[in-house]
Chains A and B, each alone.
Chain A
């Protein structure tokens, strides 16, 4: 057989992607619930997301502490009993506090759902935040925080956010070690009362979801017994402070410096987002990106570099991040800026664009491959309240974007002199 190994065997461009649409239903008390029924295993995941992120807190650490301490005891179960039961059923409850939301996810075998959902209900509706549990939690967290702050990447992240949004903005404010000593039980209880109620959440169900599952969820979360007793607190309105363009935080004896470049930018709500996302992918959004090619593969400055568009509820930002050899921070930044300049000035080669398009289409396929992938893809837009044709629009933009549009978008959003810079480690 004569095999031509130099020739890429025939392959198909991905033309159509079957974008699954979760079914939207409402529980009896009106909670918006999205249902993703997919997958081969008898498994259920319940995501509940509350508008209860650190944006809403008046004091540092309150939102995350409430979210993460829900599993530490209720009026019915001690902290230990909760973990014993969950472990016995092989189930997991993960808390994931973000700047905008307090999230809880229950992963369970379907055969144990009727038991595990009771625990989920109890920890959301009846947590006690016992004083001793609170103190253990905080002192542990304080130590972990101190360890995290030894890492240049974390130093740079905190500094970068402050530079972007300002010292007093809820997205920019830094956590300090002393903050751990100032958390009171009353702050915690009050925050929970205000934000963890049926009028302030959305639910996503994924896995083997049939009517019996929906009925169970409705029985435990669809009643009117956990509405908002108080009027919802006024949402913080904050003005973004003046951006600080350049910042350097020295850390001695490092082998690498963490660098970040970026700016406040449109988020997923904006019609240009999908096109900007293609531009971002070309620059630093995948393994073969220009930044990876230059900074890692040509220069050998780093193990990895990437760029991302982050959509928060009220703002969005663009960030390039890497950890580079301690003596090449400035060289790396120069090369990064040069890559952005090229993106603005020079038309992208059609081969490269096709490659990125195909990669992104493959990635879209991957993001719908399995029940949990589908639910997490949708969670990110459901919580932002974005309409459900988001992924159809993404698909359309990827397929149709042209080299001219890329230059246009890059020039509109990514001027090098608008990017703020952060270095943690050594300056050179």
Chain B
């Protein structure tokens, strides 16, 4: 049980405090309710580019990193399709430095053309390093637009076209800040050996005077139900063939979400899982196979990826995957197996609580989903999933008409 206090400032900033007396550090996490799904289809990659600019100095503080490092702190950030999340760990005595820095960049950034140009280059190199210069690196860039035709999840956080980053102007960037970075669009969570009163005082002092902004109501088009199976084949300079399959699943807010997550665990969590035991160990068809959910807030994807052993035909590999999915649909699942994946979830949850930063992130994210306390119901929510639910969800999920398949072929194979 993660205990916490929660309060909201007049400007709408929500604050969550979790006391963890076991650490001398404090984790300071601020989540902005903006991600790649909020981008203009002609200006993708902005949420992430913007994350980079957040480290380039703010209205009163020319350097973000320097003073934080002076205070013994460390920080980083990440952008997903749903959120942009910034975090700091620093010695507890210096917590006010974190308030000072984060409130100033919420107030405004020190934008300049030069800084924008540099960060555009850095992001382009990130794009190169992560997606273009890696074997199979562009697979996720291909699979998303195959699965989504309407919803902005069709592009990755890096953007759908590097030109969008290259063409970004200072006005675009300022607009993005103005529309999304505001106290009423953020959640601050703090965990460490702190008192709620002390956090209240500091929050009022540093964030209290920042004006709330009008945040446009999200109007994201819903992905229409997929009617027929989709496929795409590419040939690339990679040593072995690979297959990527995506199925549309529920949103994070539905009960089905937990069931779907457990299905991915049955299939691929750990070496005893079905896909590993049957297709890697027994049939020796794959060198590597995985199944996971994207974990998005809106309707996300259930993804299966596998790299084929050299002599295996794509057709046979795909059949073998499908027959594993059929077994779940047919309910060929032992109660013991379901208990196993639930145990594993519980265990991982326990390990996750060792870290104050982890807890701060989880609390902020669950608050975004509606209530920070959801985190304390997770084990129960996963625990209550039944075999019947697994079968029902699998039947809907693994319908061929709900699938998008990317055949990623090696130029070397015939």
Do A and B bind?
Answer: yes
Pair A362/B72 contact, Cβ less than 8 Å: yes
How far apart sit A331 and B99, CA to CA, in the bound complex (Å)?
Answer: 39
Least CB distance from B304 to A in Å reads: 18
Pair A355/B70 contact, Cβ less than 8 Å: yes
A18 at the interface (CB under 8 A from B): yes
Pair B100/A143 contact, Cβ less than 8 Å: no
Residues of A within 8 A of B126 (CB): 303
Contact with B along A351-372 (1 / 0, CB 8 A): 0001110110111011001111
Residues of B within 8 A of A39 (CB): 22, 354
Interface hits, A260-305 → B, CB 8 Å? 286-288, 296-304
Pair B287/A143 contact, Cβ less than 8 Å: yes
How far apart sit A83 and B238, CA to CA, in the bound complex (Å)?
Answer: 31
Pair A255/B132 contact, Cβ less than 8 Å: yes
How far apart sit A150 and B118, CA to CA, in the bound complex (Å)?
Answer: 29
- If the complex has contacts A256-B125, A358-B72, are A365 and B238 also in contact, measured as CB distance less than 8 A? no
- If the complex has contacts A87-B270, A143-B287, A323-B133, are A288 and B240 also in contact, measured as CB distance less than 8 A? no
How far apart sit A366 and B73, CA to CA, in the bound complex (Å)?
Answer: 9
Q: Quick one: closest A residue to B340, CB to CB?
A: A88
Q: Which of A3, A8, A287, A302 contacts B67 (CB 8 A)?
A: A8
Pair B96/A143 contact, Cβ less than 8 Å: no
Residues of B within 8 A of A297 (CB): 118, 122
The segment out of A9-17, A161-169, A241-249 that lies at the interface is: A9-17
How far apart sit A296 and B115, CA to CA, in the bound complex (Å)?
Answer: 12
How far apart sit A43 and B336, CA to CA, in the bound complex (Å)?
Answer: 23
Residues of A within 8 A of B107 (CB): 5
Interface hits, B167-209 → A, CB 8 Å? 205-206, 209
Residues of A within 8 A of B61 (CB): 5-6
A231 at the interface (CB under 8 A from B): no
Residues of A within 8 A of B341 (CB): 87
Q: Quick one: closest A residue to B75, CB to CB?
A: A287
Q: Quick one: closest A residue to B270, CB to CB?
A: A87
Pair A147/B72 contact, Cβ less than 8 Å: no
Residues of A within 8 A of B60 (CB): 5-6
Interface hits, B265-302 → A, CB 8 Å? 269-273, 277, 280-281, 284, 287-288
Interface hits, B70-123 → A, CB 8 Å? 70-74, 89-91, 93-94, 96-97, 99-100, 103-104, 107, 117-122
Pair A43/B69 contact, Cβ less than 8 Å: no
A324 at the interface (CB under 8 A from B): yes
Residues of B within 8 A of A11 (CB): 70-71, 93-94, 96-97
Q: Quick one: closest A residue to B349, CB to CB?
A: A90
Pair B96/A10 contact, Cβ less than 8 Å: yes
Least CB distance from B285 to A in Å reads: 11
Residues of B within 8 A of A8 (CB): 67, 70-71, 97, 100
How far apart sit A361 and B72, CA to CA, in the bound complex (Å)?
Answer: 6
Pair B307/A147 contact, Cβ less than 8 Å: yes
Least CB distance from A292 to B in Å reads: 9
Q: Which of B65, B91, B287, B344 contacts A362 (CB 8 A)?
A: B91
- If the complex has contacts A88-B343, A286-B69, A362-B90, are A370 and B348 also in contact, measured as CB distance less than 8 A? no
Interface hits, A330-383 → B, CB 8 Å? 354-356, 358-359, 361-363, 365-366, 369-372
Q: Quick one: closest A residue to B76, CB to CB?
A: A287
Residues of B within 8 A of A427 (CB): none
Pair B129/A323 contact, Cβ less than 8 Å: yes
Least CB distance from A305 to B in Å reads: 10
Residues of B within 8 A of A9 (CB): 96-97, 99-100
A40 at the interface (CB under 8 A from B): yes
A1 at the interface (CB under 8 A from B): yes
How far apart sit A258 and B91, CA to CA, in the bound complex (Å)?
Answer: 36
How far apart sit A3 and B208, CA to CA, in the bound complex (Å)?
Answer: 11
Residues of A within 8 A of B288 (CB): 140, 144
Least CB distance from A59 to B in Å reads: 23
A127 at the interface (CB under 8 A from B): no
Residues of A within 8 A of B307 (CB): 143, 147
A212 at the interface (CB under 8 A from B): no
B350 at the interface (CB under 8 A from A): yes
- If the complex has contacts A147-B135, A256-B125, are A136 and B353 also in contact, measured as CB distance less than 8 A? no
Q: Which of A12, A88, A147, A299 contacts B238 (CB 8 A)?
A: A147
Residues of B within 8 A of A384 (CB): none
Classify the secondary structure of A's interface with B: mixed
B59 at the interface (CB under 8 A from A): yes
Residues of A within 8 A of B67 (CB): 8
Of A87, A151, A286, the most chain B CB neighbours within 10 A belong to A87
Least CB distance from A230 to B in Å reads: 31
Least CB distance from A414 to B in Å reads: 22
A186 at the interface (CB under 8 A from B): no
Least CB distance from B333 to A in Å reads: 14
Least CB distance from A2 to B in Å reads: 10
Residues of A within 8 A of B141 (CB): none
Pair A1/B205 contact, Cβ less than 8 Å: yes
Interface hits, A75-106 → B, CB 8 Å? 79-80, 83-84, 86-91
Pair B128/A139 contact, Cβ less than 8 Å: no
Q: Which of B24, B272, B351 contacts A369 (CB 8 A)?
A: B24
B309 at the interface (CB under 8 A from A): yes
Residues of A within 8 A of B70 (CB): 8, 11, 354-355, 358-359
Pair A80/B281 contact, Cβ less than 8 Å: yes
- If the complex has contacts A39-B354, A303-B122, are A366 and B129 also in contact, measured as CB distance less than 8 A? no
How far apart sit A80 and B129, CA to CA, in the bound complex (Å)?
Answer: 37
B134 at the interface (CB under 8 A from A): yes
A109 at the interface (CB under 8 A from B): yes
A41 at the interface (CB under 8 A from B): yes
How far apart sit A372 and B351, CA to CA, in the bound complex (Å)?
Answer: 10
Residues of B within 8 A of A365 (CB): 24-25, 72, 91
A107 at the interface (CB under 8 A from B): yes
Q: Which of A3, A151, A301 contacts B135 (CB 8 A)?
A: A151
Q: Which of B120, B129, B339, B355 contacts A256 (CB 8 A)?
A: B129
Least CB distance from B235 to A in Å reads: 14
- Residues on A lying within 8 angstroms of B by beta carbon are 1, 3, 5-6, 8-12, 14, 18, 38-43, 71, 79-80, 83-84, 86-91, 107, 109, 136, 139-140, 143-144, 146-147, 150-152, 253-256, 286-288, 296-304, 323-325, 354-356, 358-359, 361-363, 365-366, 369-372
- Residues on B lying within 8 angstroms of A by beta carbon are 20, 22-25, 59-61, 65-67, 69-74, 89-91, 93-94, 96-97, 99-100, 103-104, 107, 117-122, 125-126, 128-130, 132-136, 205-206, 209, 237-240, 269-273, 277, 280-281, 284, 287-288, 307, 309-310, 336, 339-341, 343-348, 350-351, 353-356
Listed A/B pairs (30) with beta-carbon separation below 8 Å: A3-B209, A5-B103, A8-B97, A39-B22, A40-B22, A41-B350, A84-B272, A86-B272, A87-B340, A87-B344, A90-B345, A136-B284, A139-B287, A143-B309, A150-B135, A151-B134, A256-B133, A287-B74, A288-B65, A300-B119, A300-B125, A301-B125, A302-B122, A304-B129, A323-B129, A358-B70, A359-B70, A359-B72, A369-B23, A370-B354
6 nearest A-B pairs in the assembled complex, by CB-CB distance: A90-B347, A300-B121, A362-B72, A83-B271, A83-B272, A5-B60
Excluding A14-B91, A87-B343, A371-B354, 10 further A-B contacts by CB distance (< 8 Å) are A1-B209, A5-B107, A8-B97, A11-B71, A143-B287, A256-B125, A256-B128, A300-B118, A303-B125, A365-B91
